[in-house]
Copies of this chain bind each other. A is one copy, B any other.
């Protein structure tokens, strides 16, 4: 028996209805913020992802050659494709561009709880400016999305890549080795960072000072510890967020995000209920378009891990109840099957969701099926009732039955 490939999933109807429902909440929230949806292909030239993330990305992605011997790869993320699309076809549009996307991404890694080889990301990119309003707009959208989904326990932590970059430069880390150190700090691998610092002849005391900064979390008061540039910027941002009713944020000077293209503010959201894989959202301000052959444009963006945030909602006990159908139409005998088809068609024409028995079941089994599909009413079509232009309608919740004239049938479902 063929299974779906390792790390991928089939979504059955109940799960899929739940996913589409929450997807629609994210989409509606993005639209309310004036963001517009775009889509890019499932695969891209492999080079695009190497440009964004460096050649090591090849170890983690589905990269292959197509029949024309082109190097292509299933997208591992969507910021690079969106910026490629911006450079190709939107660079002359009025700015800012406020774009969002929803779709599958792919990483070849060991599957574990909340981590799949095919996973779904919802993300947004605000292209065109770097200032506190732009950053606030992006963070406020992320916070509104998480809130609109109904997740209760989450934390948004805001940092600034300039802080650690400046500290490393001051400590004497050569700029070409800065990314290497930042990646260790990002993962709080202090022992490994210490070895790196040692290899650069940086004193333990200086290293300790840097480690302490990466552990500094709190309100605006922690901004006193850092350089005036980053500090006053983050103060302005936090004030702007407060004006937008986004108060549940912390300053976290240890938020690093490994990639070179971040230019200033960076942020993450996490759901503590998820344990080790708790990050549900990450982003920041960046500049990437010039790597892809366009002019340099400042942007702010983020991505939400859709699978993980749904998992977090599940862990909080959130239940989702599907819609079911309004009517389940049952022909009592073979000679009324065509009439039953007319009736189901009339209901559907009125916008009423209606199923019909096609298994030629006996009444008891048909009622069981009506329950199985979550029908509100069963519409029982018999010859005698039809002779009076009527059908029997059974309320599947209460079990009550009554005769209803065909001309009045649709009205029951209002």
List chain A positions with a Cβ less than 8 A from chain B. 1-6, 8-13, 16-17, 19-20, 27, 31-34, 36-45, 47-48, 51, 62, 64-68, 70, 72, 74, 81, 84-85, 87-90, 94-96, 98-99, 104, 106, 108, 118, 126, 128-129, 131, 133-134, 136-137, 140, 144, 239-240, 243-245, 292-294, 323, 325, 328, 337-339, 341-342, 344-345, 348-349, 351-356, 358-360, 368-369, 372-373
Contact = CB atoms under 8 A, between A and B. Distances in A.
Contact of A41 (B4, B137, B239, B345): B4
- Tallying the copies of this chain within the complex gives 2
Interface of A is mostly: mixed
Contact of A13 (B11, B13, B38): B38
Contacts of A42: 8, 42, 74, 104, 106, 118
7 contacts: A2-B47, A2-B84, A4-B40, A5-B44, A5-B70, A19-B39, A32-B352
Contacts of A339: 243
Nearest to A27: B20
A2 B48 CA distance: 7
Nearest to A14: B36
Most buried by B among A36, A68, A74, A128: A36
A6 B70 CA distance: 10
Nearest to A31: B353
Contact of A358 (B5, B131, B294): B131
Contact of A98 (B64, B70, B131, B355): B355
A89 B353 contact: no
Contact of A133 (B323, B353, B358, B372): B358
Contact of A96 (B8, B108, B118, B358): B358
A318 to B, nearest CB: 20
List of 4 A-B pairs having minimum Cβ-Cβ separation, nearest first: A34-B355, A8-B41, A13-B36, A64-B64
A394 to B, nearest CB: 17
B10 A88 contact: yes
Nearest to A30: B353
Nearest to A106: B42
A20 B36 CA distance: 11
A286 to B, nearest CB: 16
Given A65-B64, A337-B133, A356-B137, A293 B1 contact: yes
Contacts of A98: 355
A245 B349 contact: yes
Contacts of A47: 2
A144 B292 contact: no
A68 to B, nearest CB: 8
Nearest to A241: B341
A350 to B, nearest CB: 9
Nearest to A373: B34
Contacts of A372: 94
Contacts of A36: 13, 16-17
Contacts of A133: 337, 341, 356, 358, 360
A219 B131 CA distance: 68
A328 B84 CA distance: 28
